[in-house]
Amino acid sequence: MKIIKNIDILRNTINEYGENKAIGFVPTMGFLHEGHLSLIEKASSENDITVVSIFVNPTQFGPGEDFETYPRDLDRDARLAEGAGADILFFPDAREIYPIGASTFVEVEGAITKKLCGSSRPAHFKGVTTVVNTLFNIVSPHKAYFGQKDAQQLAVIKKMVRDLHMQVTIVACPIVRETDGLALSSRNVGLNPEERKQALILSQALNRARNLWKTGETDVKILKAVISDGINTMPLADIDYVDILDFNTLEAIKKIEAPALAAVAVRFGDTRLIDNIILE
C-alpha cells in the first residue's frame, strides 16, 4: 500500500495502474475501526484499485467542536487499511485540499441539511459536501463507500451526486457495532468507562422503538417518546435530538407508512454520539 500526501502524485499513481481500472474510494477521518474496515473490504472486493483517504476536514467542524482533539494515529491506520485491502492511502494536509485563498463551496440546501445534525451543527454539511466533492475530483472514483452510521451524511451525499450528475456510484454500507450494540465510532475513545456503559442506551432505545413498531405502532410521536424516555433513564446522557423522518427525503412524518429513519444524537460529557435504525 502506498501512502501519498500530494494530489499530483496520487493522480499519477492511479494512472500507472492502467486504463479502465475500477476505482473504489473510501473517504474517512481516520482513527480506523471495524466500521471503516468493512467499507474498505467491500471496496476492495468490488474494484481494481481501492483508495482510502484520511483527512480530518476542518471545514466540517464548528467553533468549539472537537477538531483539535479528534483522535489521530496514522501508523495504526496505515496497518489496518492495508490489512483490509487498501492499495493507496491518501493523507493530505489541509493546505493540499484547500489551496491558499480557496473560497468555493458545495452546499446542498433544504430540509435534508437543516434537520438532525444540521440544526446543532449549521455549517457541518457544507463542509462535508465541499470536501467530498473535492476528494471525488481528485480521486475520480467509480464507486464511493459510505456508512449508514452517518445516515444524514449519506442522504446528503446521494442528493449532491444526483443533483450535480456526478459520475460516481454511492454504495451504502450497514452499521458495524460492538457485540453489546454500541455503534463503532472513532469518538468512542472519548467515553470514560461509566459513559461507555450508559452509551449502550442509544442502540437499546432505538431497538425498543423498532420492536414497538414491529407490533404495529406507527405513530411517530409515540415511537419518539419511547426512544427519548429510554435515553433519559441514563443520567449522563444529554439528548441533542431524537427524530423519525422519511428515510429517503428526511422530511418530517407523522405516521410510518414508508421506510423511515429513526436517528439520535446524544452527548456524554464532551463526546457526541449518533446512531440510527431504518424502519422498513
| Angle, CA 278 vertex, CA 277 and CA 280 arms, to 5° | 145
- State how far the Cα of 182 lies from the Cα of 174, in Å rounded to an integer: 14
Q: Which of residues 89-148 bind ligand AMP (CB under 6 A)?
A: 146-147
Q: Which of residues 29-48 bind ligand AMP (CB under 6 A)?
A: 29, 35-36, 38-39
Closer Cβ to ligand AMP, 189 or 225, answer by number: 189
Q: Return the residue of 3, 168, 176, 200 that touches ligand AMP, per CB under 6 A.
A: 176
Report helix, strand or coil for 178: coil
Least CB distance to ligand AMP at residue 88 (A): 16
Chain Cα centroid distance, residue 252: 21
Closer Cβ to ligand AMP, 149 or 253, answer by number: 149
Closest residue to bound ligand AMP by CB: 147
Closer Cβ to ligand AMP, 174 or 259, answer by number: 174
- State how far the Cα of 153 lies from the Cα of 145, in Å rounded to an integer: 12
Closer Cβ to ligand AMP, 147 or 230, answer by number: 147
Tell me which of 33, 36, 124, 165 is the catalytic residue.
36
**DSSP of 78-145, one letter per residue?**
HHHHHHHT-SEEE---HHHHS-TT--------SHHHHSTHHHHSTTHHHHHHHHHHHHHHHH--SEEE
Q: Return the residue of 88, 89, 116, 173 that touches ligand AMP, per CB under 6 A.
A: 173
Q: Return the residue of 10, 117, 175, 273 that touches ligand AMP, per CB under 6 A.
A: 175
Using CB under 6 A as the binding rule, whether residue 28 contacts ligand AMP is answered as yes
- State how far the Cα of 70 lies from the Cα of 89, in Å rounded to an integer: 19
Residues in contact with 245: Cβ distance below 8 Å, sequence separation at least 6, in sequence order: 115, 116, 251, 252, 253, 260, 261, 263
Closer Cβ to ligand AMP, 175 or 245, answer by number: 175
Find where cell 450508559 sits.
198
- Output the CA–CA distances (angstroms, integers) from residue 274 to 199, 232, 240, in the order listed: 10, 15, 9
Least CB distance to ligand AMP at residue 147 (A): 2
Q: Which of residues 183-222 bind ligand AMP (CB under 6 A)?
A: 183-186
Please indicate whether residue 33 is annotated as part of the active site: no
Least CB distance to ligand AMP at residue 39 (A): 6
According to DSSP, the residues that pair with 169 across neighbouring strands are: 143
Active site residues: 36
Which positions touch ligand AMP (CB under 6 A)?
28-29, 35-36, 38-39, 146-147, 149-150, 173, 175-176, 183-186
